[in-house]
């Protein structure tokens, strides 16, 4: 098993995580839509729905997980 330097995570695990992230619906850290003005209407609607009832801490975690800035969602 190949272990990536400094992390202790196997290369196969990294590939699996990447593939899982690609298969998730909605925005992710690897999305091509980094700017809110380029999001589709569906992406915008999904983010608003998913964040509507989150606390500030949960909202921040959501944004980090999706690779977006809170300001983008608030727009």
**Residue 10, φ and ψ in degrees, nearest 5:** -70, 150
pLDDT of residue 55: 92
Residue 50: inside a domain? yes
Task: Quote the longest CA-to-CA distance of the chain.
Answer: 45
Residue 12: inside a domain? no
Total tally of structural domains belonging to the chain:
1
Domain that residue 31 falls in: 27-74
Residue 31: inside a domain? yes
Residue 22: inside a domain? no
pLDDT of residue 30: 46
pLDDT of residue 28: 52
pLDDT of residue 71: 85
Note the pLDDT tens digit of each residue in 12-63: 887 888 777 776 655 554 454 456 667 788 888 888 888 999 999 999 998 8
């Amino acid at each position: 098993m190949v272990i990536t330097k400094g992390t202790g995570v196997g290369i196969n695990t990294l590939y699996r995580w990447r593939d899982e992230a690609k298969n998730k619906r909605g925005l992710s850290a690897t999305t091509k839509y980094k700017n809110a003005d380029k999001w589709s209407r569906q992406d915008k609607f999904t983010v608003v729905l998913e964040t509507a009832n989150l606390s500030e801490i949960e909202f921040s975690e959501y944004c980090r997980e999706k690779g977006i800035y809170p300001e983008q969602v608030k727009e």
